[in-house]
Chains A and B, each alone.
Chain A
Amino acid sequence: VRLQFRSFRLRLLAFVVGLLLLVQAAVFLAVNAANERGARNHIHEALALTAAAFQRTLGERERILLDKARLLSGDFAFKQACATGEHGTILSALRNHSERVGASVMMLLTLEGEVQADTLNPDVHGRPAPRRLAAVLEAAMRDEFGEVASIESLGDTAHQLVVTPLFMPEPMAWIVIGFRVDDALARELRETTGTEVSLLRHTPGRGWRPFASTLPPAARRDLVDRFSAELPEAARPLNLTLAGSAYVSWLAPTESVGGTQVATLLQRSLDVALAPARRLRMMLFGIFGLGLALSLGGAALLAGRVTRPVAALARGAERVARGDYTSPVEVRQEDELGLLASSFNRMTRGLAERDRVRDLLGKVVSPEVAEELLRKDLELGGEERVVTVLFSDVRNFTSLSEQMPPRRLVELLNGVLTRVSEIVERHGGVVDKYIGDAVMAVYGAPLGHADDALRAVRTALDLYAALDDINAELGLGGTRRVGMGVGVSTGVVVAGNMGSTTRLNYTVIGDSVNLASRLEGLTKTYGVGIIVGEATRSACPELSFRELDRVRVKGRSEPLAIYEPLGPRAAVSDSAREELERWHEALERFRGRDWHAAECILAELARAHPDAALYGLFRKRVARLRVDPPPAHWDGVTTFTEK
């Protein structure tokens, strides 16, 4: 039983934990996926926005640089310097002006694209501009205001170049002002965009290489030759792993009019971006762990609150089964189990009450009657039943009572009655009442058996056989030895509750009851222990009987054959059977008025069995009838006129 409860607890725990885990796993998977997806989408959106912001930033920077270039080109002194046509003067003025605006390079070119002065290459003049610059100038010519901006490689470094015409007052030359594009610019852009910024340049034969970047050196080196000449599609997120770190990247090709292939790579570290998502995941784990622990604890507690009272109830039920009604089940709960426990305790009290009543009843009446009384409503009246009634009486009791103190006598009586009752009950009889030292037992009410008569006769035989034991047990012997007379009768009686409406007995009433009592009384007359009536004898064909006489007892006009049971037929010895036949012959002669023949047989039997009072009784009767012959209508029946 304990194992089962434990398994119930385990089952509950397994169910709760399993369900919780299932739900939590589903929630976790859904949330985590959405979370991660959201984080990635967020990065992508942020990168797209940043890319737009980056382009605006670059455009803004272009405008600022152009404004600076315009300011310089409008300087009259500068125009005058340029009008001199002296290379040294012009170069010097260019250096001065580039210093003013913090440019990295400044050049003056003729409208036809011939270098007049170049701060990067002070010795060069009068030569055509380098190819890329020439392309930039061509783009400027196409512009409405002759202005253009572009990121170009000049030598080994990249510059953001702005070109504007020099008006003297006609456009007379090109001013080119360049600002270096390097890590400092990348850092500046990172400040405004919040992303890692790398600028890549493609050189035939060297591939794509970063020339300005905010990435750590290792990641930056990893970026070298990461892209083939053909760049991946722009404006869509790329997943790049640089120096072991994952970056979501956004590739934005930057406009270059001079043919320099430049691309901007905006990047966000996936680890950094996913950090909130991972924190949320850790939080989810924490919450789920806590939830699991709480559910486990709660389920264990709940299981305990179910199994403990159930176990207590089971133990209580076992106690009740053993007949212990004294300790109630202790369950202090307000729930259904508490209700069950208090109901159980009420039931126990009810059972205890009933048991006590039954015990009491069983002592006052026989267990079967008690059962019958408890089973049905108590009401007066009865039913007709064929029962066998047994009357037993202790012989010699009266003389014993004179020799003993009453307390001892009661002990003795109780001892005898207890043994008698035991034997009666062993054979399925019901002790109906004790009448002084006599016991009245009923077979067939309230419960009937097919062999009630046989049970009664066997009871009688056993009682007789048990006499020696009873005497030994009670320490009786010699003259103080008790004997016993038993009468058994079978017939129709009324069985039921007799008495008044407030006080009643379950008993049987009928002719058979009186007859049994009368037959018990006849045992002394015939010197036998047991006498049964005709009906009883007929009901026991397996037993051997001795017919004793035909009698007419008081209160009955019909003559009745009475018998003494001898035991099972098989157990009757040959000599006993022979004696029985001789006796029956003698009885026949006696009834046929053949006094002589009867006397001969009886004398013979009396000689063989000097203790048998029966033969002596009939010899006396023969002797008397010989002297005083009976009338002609004599039927051999002995009539008793007293009880």
Chain B
Amino acid sequence: MAGTRRRARSWRWGWVLALLGAPAVASGATLSVTVTDSDGVPLEHAVVAAWALDANGKVEPSREPVVIDQIDKEFVPYVSVVRKGTAVTFPNRDPVRHHVYSFSEAKTFEIPLYKGTPPEPVVFDTPGVVPLGCNIHDWMMAYVFVTDAPHFGVTDASGQIILRELAPRRYRVEVWHPELEGSREVAAHDVAVDPDGASLSVSIERRRMWRPRRAPHAGDAGYR
């Protein structure tokens, strides 16, 4: 019951167990962020974004093209983080068509059944979480995290991301993960980055995620 009520209040900040600084280094310091769940298990696919607290500099969208492939009826990568205003292409590497869509507030779009690379990339100009799906493959899922932060990245399998080329100052660090309790919120906290760099460990509470069952491959007989 209590859980239900908490969820009912949802869309709120997930709570963050943040910590902690290390000695600063000269320009070009690094911030190493490690994300784990409440059990201490490292979390891959966690988005980490950082802003210098005292910087007002306008962040330009990335000029480099961001690509989300569809390979073997899965989106690759699973989680992408892009700067606000970035155009993303969805090349289909499979022999079958895909139908990419999102009903998200940040970006509602649909690329009806297509093969190859769609002629027009999709521009994500509103910060937020954009879950992607494929209309004809229920299990295909991917996330695009749209941010206006200057520094960002996605944790690797060890749950770590190292943000480089940071000026030693104080930063606000936001952490998001598809399984974050209150999935549209981010966990945020401040950290001072020394010239020597800094590291931050963030523990987030995972929520239960139900996934549609993946259909068997052609030729794979058997009960789902």
Contact = CB atoms under 8 A, between A and B. Distances in A.
Given A76-B135, A79-B103, A169-B134, A146 B210 contact: yes
Contacts of B4: 112-113, 134, 137-138
Contacts of A128: 8
B210 A169 contact: no
B165 interface: no
Interface string B199-224: 00000000011111100000000000
Contacts of A112: 4, 7-8, 10
Interface in A159-215: 165, 167-172
Contacts of B7: 111-113
Interface string B1-32: 10110011010000000000000000000000
B213 A145 contact: yes
Nearest to B210: A146
A interface: dominant SS: mixed
Interface residues of A, number: 26
B141 A169 contact: yes
A145 B108 CA distance: 26
A165 B210 contact: yes
Contact of A168 (B99, B103, B208): B103
Contact of B210 (A137, A138, A145): A145
Interface string A67-85: 0000000101001100100
A44 B106 CA distance: 63
Given A111-B7, A112-B4, A144-B210, A167 B133 contact: yes
A175 B7 CA distance: 18
B8 A113 contact: yes
A390 to B, nearest CB: 137
Interface residues of B, number: 26
A169 B133 contact: yes
A76 B208 CA distance: 24
A141 interface: yes
Contacts of A83: 103, 108
Interface string B67-109: 0000000000000000000000000000000010101000010
Contacts of B8: 112-114, 128
A142 B211 CA distance: 13
A146 B108 CA distance: 25
B35 interface: no
A165 B213 CA distance: 12
B132 interface: yes
A83 to B, nearest CB: 4
Contacts of A167: 133, 138, 212
B193 interface: no
A167 to B, nearest CB: 5
B140 interface: yes
B131 interface: yes
Contacts of A76: 99, 101, 135
A140 to B, nearest CB: 9
12 contacts: A76-B99, A80-B103, A83-B103, A113-B4, A113-B8, A114-B8, A134-B4, A143-B210, A145-B210, A146-B210, A169-B133, A169-B138
Interface of A: 74, 76, 79-80, 83, 111-114, 128, 134, 137-138, 141-146, 165, 167-172
Given A74-B212, A168-B103, 16 more contacts: A74-B138, A76-B135, A80-B103, A111-B7, A111-B10, A112-B10, A128-B8, A138-B3, A138-B4, A141-B208, A167-B212, A168-B133, A169-B101, A169-B140, A170-B131, A171-B210
A-B complex: 5 closest residue pairs judged by Cβ atoms: A169-B133, A146-B210, A83-B103, A112-B8, A170-B131
